Amino acid sequence: MSTGSCEQPIPPSKPGNIQGQFLVESLNHIVGFAVPIAGYYLWGGGTEAPIPINFQYSGFLFGIKVGDLTFTPIDPLTSGKLEWMGDTGLNLTVTNITADAYVDLKVYLLWVIPMWGLRVNFNDLNVTAGIDFSQVYNRYPQLSLDLDLKYSSFDWKFFIVGWIVKLFLKESTLINLVENAIEGAVDGLNESLRSRSSDTFLINVMQDLSANLGFTRPFTLDKENDLLTFGLDGRIYNTTTGMYGNEIVQKTAARFARAHSNQIFIHQSTIQAAIRSAKHLFLPIEVEQPSFNQLLGIYIPELFEKYGDKGSFKIAVDSNDDFDVHFTLDHGISVMNVGLDVTIYGKPSGYFKSYEEALTFSLTLDLEEVDVHIQELVVYTHFGDAKVTNGFLTKSSIGEIVRNNWNQFFESLINFQLNEINVNHKEFDIKTLDEQIDLISGQVPNSTVAFNYQDEFMYVGVRFFNDD
């Protein structure tokens, strides 16, 4: 089933599974830092993505075709600023865009002689765009078309006999074309934002796992407290099954007082649905460690009787989809009622021996306390003790097994592995994923990102380094 068969649009009164509050002052600080970097990667050293203009003009003896406008370098002094626009929205102003812009322009004299290769240069180009958060659509924010392009100078650079082009295409005409192109792009974005289809904002996360990031409520502006509040759908959609894995939550998360400037809350059902959908990427899993051999010999001596005291063993684990994820202040993340199928394989020592299925089990696993937090872009994890119930031997290929306390056996085995993780893999540095993350993090000293929990919600708090 395709995503086109998703559910009908969500009523705008629902708070959303992803809720957030941003401090406008902090957003301004973030914009001031992010705009130069974004400008560099978009126009200077990154994608160089063109702005489509696609304009044609015909005269008596000539024709002009303007294709794409592409920015190449970006001024390192480029800056951005975000401020209140009355009580109904925000103004985003980008200044000092001194860029070498290449226009894909072709001129045909007498409709026969082609000339192209026009380059233009903007000095101190400033752009202001108003972001309208009015409730006209009772759900969707809109970018206003109050676009203002200002620049201190505008220079033409030509190739071949390009001076003739200037006779046909005036400076003011080209500027109007650029403004119209940007406004046309904004119109397209607004049309997308106004879409009544619930799957317009499905964003693919990995393989068949997608997240719906559409708006579920109008933005709320609180100018007195300098706050911007929003709600996103946050449901998880599986493109293979054609179904959502969770519903829209009816509860509104409460802002933490005297905490981070920007606060985002993700409902536990979204995390649960994402894990269930992505489970097949990680499970079943096979673990083969020599350290298991001693444990298996103690708890199941029949394995050594079958494969010898120098035999090798591995364990394969798979789970069902009916587990529960809970967020609480006391325990952080709790993963409960995980139904596991466990198979133990064994083989005698020797180069030409292969593994064979020895024992299979079913059990229920509870992880009551999993702590995850971030400090300076390093993720720290710690697993509390696991609890196992309903452990049963379902099949034996090595004869009768005397032991019947399988809960204790698997608790010892799982906690042994979790302790290995707590000791050897408790830290993960996000900066190692990309050198640019490391570069950016070095430019924002003393900024903080924090994970915490309140009932039913994961809390992500972000404070920029120069926030009050």
Give me the CATH number covering residue 177.
3.15.10.10
Same structural domain, 262 and 285: yes
Q: Helix, strand, coil shares of the chain as percentages rounded to 5?
A: 25, 40, 35
Same structural domain, 272 and 371: yes
Same structural domain, 229 and 366: yes
Same structural domain, 217 and 189: no
* Residue where a domain stops, chosen among 127, 161, 193: 193
Q: If you write DSSP's letter for every residue of 329-369 in order, what string do you get?
A: TTTEEEEEEEEEEEEEEEE-SSTT---EEEEEEEEEEEEEE
pLDDT for 386: 92
- Domain membership of residue 2 (yes or no) is no
- Domain membership of residue 14 (yes or no) is no
- Domain membership of residue 10 (yes or no) is no
Same structural domain, 169 and 213: no
Angstrom distance (rounded) from CA 359 to CA 144: 66
Same structural domain, 179 and 209: no
- Domain membership of residue 425 (yes or no) is yes
Q: Which residues contact 257 (CB under 8 A, 6 or more apart)?
A: none
Same structural domain, 68 and 144: yes
Residue 248 carries which side chain, given as an amino acid letter?
A: I
Same structural domain, 267 and 314: yes
Angstrom distance (rounded) from CA 354 to CA 297: 19
Same structural domain, 82 and 135: yes
Count Cβ atoms within 10 A of the Cβ of residue 18 and give its class: 0-12 exposed, 13-18 middle, 19 or more buried: buried
Angstrom distance (rounded) from CA 234 to CA 198: 11
pTM over 0.75: no
Residue 68 carries which side chain, given as an amino acid letter?
A: D
Going by DSSP bridges, is the β-strand pair 227-232/356-375 parallel, antiparallel, or unpaired? unpaired
Helices (H), 194-300: 268-282, 290-299
Buried b (16+ CB within 10 A) or exposed e, 371-401: beebeebeeeeebbebebeebeeeebebeee
- Domain membership of residue 318 (yes or no) is yes
* Residue where a domain stops, chosen among 174, 193, 212: 193
Q: What is the CATH number of the domain that holds 448?
A: 3.15.20.10
Residues 389, 390, 395: CA angle, nearest 5 degrees? 130
Helix pair angle (290-299, 406-424), 10° resolution? 160
Angstrom distance (rounded) from CA 359 to CA 313: 11
- Phi/psi at 70 (5° precision): -120, 125
Same structural domain, 248 and 385: yes
Q: Which residues contact 140 (CB under 8 A, 6 or more apart)?
A: 193, 194, 215, 218
* Residue where a domain stops, chosen among 193, 214, 236: 193
**Structural contact between residues 364 and 339, judged by C-beta atoms closer than 8 angstroms:** yes
- Domain membership of residue 6 (yes or no) is no
- Domain membership of residue 300 (yes or no) is yes
Domain that holds residue 69: 50-193
* Helix or strand holding residue 312 (H, E): strand 312-319
Same structural domain, 215 and 151: no
- Domain membership of residue 19 (yes or no) is no
Same structural domain, 312 and 335: yes
Domains identified in the chain, total number? 2
pLDDT along the chain (468 residues), means of 10: 39 78 88 72 55 68 70 67 78 70 66 58 64 57 60 56 58 68 69 69 82 82 87 87 85 85 90 83 80 76 85 87 84 88 89 88 91 76 90 90 83 85 78 63 62 84 78
Residue 237 carries which side chain, given as an amino acid letter?
A: Y
